[in-house]
Each structure stands twice: as C-alpha cells, then as structure tokens.
Amino acid sequence: MQKSVIEKLRKNFEDYRHDEGGLEFWLARELQELLEYTEWRNFEKVIEKAKESCKNAKQSVSDHFVDVNKTIKMPKQARKEVSDIMLTRYACYLIAQNGDPRKEVIAFAQSYFALQTRKQELLEERIAMQERIDARKKLTETESKFSKLIFERGVDNQGFGRIRSKGDKALFGGHDTNQMKKKLGIKSGPLADKLPTITIKAKDFATELTNFNVEKGDLQGESPITKEHVKNNSEVRKLLQHRGVKPEELSPAEDIKKLERKLKKNDKKLLP
C-alpha cells in the first residue's frame, strides 16, 4: 500500500473519530462509509460477527457496541430517525477483522485499529502497574514513620518486627509474616513486594491508623502499641471480608522490582 494512500486513510479514520467529554468513539453508519460498504444490511452482518468475537473474547458487548438513534436529513427538508451504534476502538478493530479482507481499506483498518487497541491495552496495563508501585512506595513511607514513631516510645527494631508480624497475622487470618511468605512462595525480600495492590493498600491503611492512634493516645511501649496495631489490622480485615476479599487467599503479584523494570520497558512502547 502506497504511503500516500496510508496517510489519506489515516486522516479519514481520525476525522471520523468523535470525542465527547473524553469519550472516544466512531459511529457505525459513518464507519460503513469508511469501509466502503454500500448497503447497511450487509454491514450489519459484519457488526453481528464482531459482536460474537467480542463475546468469545470474554468482553462485554454493551461496553463496546452502544445502540443510539440519530436524525438524518431527507429531501424537501424532511427528517428521518435511524438507528446507529457507538463503537469503541476495540469494536472497530473487531469489525475490521470480520470485514472483507480483499478491500484495501479493510486491510488498513485492521492494522490501524489493532495498533491503537494495543496502545490502549498498554496504557491500561501501565496505569495498573503504576498504581501498585505507588501503593508500595506509600506503604514504605508509612512503615518508616511507624518505625521512627515507636522507637521514640521505647520499641527497638526487633520489637518493630514483632509488632508488624502480629499485625500481619491479624490481617491475614492467623498467618504471620513468615507464614505468609512461605504460603506465597517468597524466598527472599519483603512480603509486601509480592502482594497485590489491594493488600498493600490494606496494610498501609491499618498502619496509618496505628500511627494516628499512637500519637493521639501517646501510647508507650511494645505491648499497648501491639494491641493497637492488631486491632487496626483486624478491623481492616473485617472490611475486606465484608466485600468478599480474604487477603491470605489472593495470589502473589509480580515482584515490585521486576514490575518497575517492566514499566520502563512498556513506556518505550507507548512512545510514538
């Protein structure tokens, strides 16, 4: 396909893209024109095949194919209401995949939407990775504050380790830190480096509560601080359980250091 043709088609597909309130979509009747289908009934058959592909990919059809109505102009200033469909990039990609591959414009659309859909997937993956990395950094800061706070109240490093382990035991349904590391197959490094985002945030919240109440109540010594930390982790566990989450049953996540390296690598793929 000639470079001039590719650029023309790219501009056409971008010109037909709608953006309302940050929501990006194409309209099926306009895509029909772009893909050179003269009859709507023939294009509808392609859309139905695309919907089946969407179902087979375990995606929600209603998230990607949204039925709408619009008014079109008719001769003699008359107007007619017709049905249309709002399509996400992914929906357009599936339509292109189920289109007539003999058409040059279909071949272009398949590559165009495949590339854009992949970029969207990478973006969503990056956001999830960054969220977990940020949560881990936040937990490190919270635990560092906790360590300094209780050191000022007569607790040494060994005491800090015991308090944190007992807090983990309360959060993980009776499994202390070492037991959880064994359960998750963690041979080295901190437990939190392999925890999913929701568990990292749970640990951070419980520790934040402990920090707040230790200062507020001016708690002194290992015993009262341990009691406070266990109580907070127990309450956070109850909240998770109420939402159907048992922290000790969640699968381990990718090591946080490997994730940081992966993030840098994926960032290069997102660059134009």
pLDDT at site 272: 45
pLDDT at site 248: 96
Q: Tell me the domain boundaries of the chain.
A: 3-100, 125-270
Separation of alpha carbons 199 and 171, rounded Å: 9
Tens of pLDDT, residue by residue, the chain (272 residues)? 567 767 777 787 888 888 887 788 999 999 998 899 999 999 999 999 999 999 998 889 999 999 988 766 656 566 667 788 999 988 998 998 888 877 888 888 887 777 766 666 766 777 788 889 999 999 999 999 999 999 999 999 999 999 999 999 999 999 999 999 999 999 889 999 999 999 999 999 999 999 999 999 999 999 999 999 999 999 999 999 999 999 999 999 999 999 988 887 766 655 44
Amino acid at 257: K
pLDDT at site 79: 66
Amino acid at 171: L
pLDDT at site 46: 93
